[in-house]
């Protein structure tokens, strides 16, 4: 294959990865925002031990969600950096004769 063709392919791969990374960051921010805005409702629980258990489970669930959603965001940022490498290399190969 010619270098220009390889450069075009690398450029398109980089653009697609950049779009995926941006969508992932936006999704991560929206998910984290929803997780932080969720409140616990303990009005229906009368026993103190059950209430404490419910709060503990809810807190652990919330921390798990925050960890997973943060991982999505970090993975998206890494994908965006990789896409910049593809775009740069694609532009270099496309411009060479």
Rounded average pLDDT over 20-26: 96
**pTM score above 0.85:** no
**9 has a pLDDT exceeding 90:** yes
18-22, 60-64, 73-77: range with lowest mean pLDDT: 60-64
Cα angle 29, 33, 37 (rounded to 5 degrees) comes to: 175
Residue pair 89/4 in contact (Cβ under 8 Å)? The answer is no
**pLDDT value at position 66?**
92
Higher pLDDT, 47 or 29: 29
Q: pLDDT digit string (tens) for 69-79? A: 999 999 999 99
The whole-angstrom separation of Cα 1 and Cα 39 is 57
Q: Model confidence at 4, in pLDDT bands (50, 70, 90)?
A: confident
CA–CA distance from 11 to each of 7, 16, 38, 94 (Å)? 6, 9, 41, 9
Rounded average pLDDT over 85-96: 91
């Amino acid at each position: 294959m010619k270098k220009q063709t390889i450069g075009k392919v690398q450029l398109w791969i980089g653009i697609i990865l950049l779009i995926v990374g941006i969508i992932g960051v936006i999704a991560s921010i929206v998910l984290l925002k929803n997780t932080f805005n969720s409140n616990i409702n303990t009005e229906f629980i009368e026993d103190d031990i059950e209430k404490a258990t419910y709060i503990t489970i809810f807190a652990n669930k919330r921390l798990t969600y925050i960890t997973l959603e943060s991982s999505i965001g970090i993975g998206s940022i890494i994908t965006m950096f990789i896409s910049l490498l593809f775009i740069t290399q694609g532009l270099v190969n496309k411009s060479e004769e």
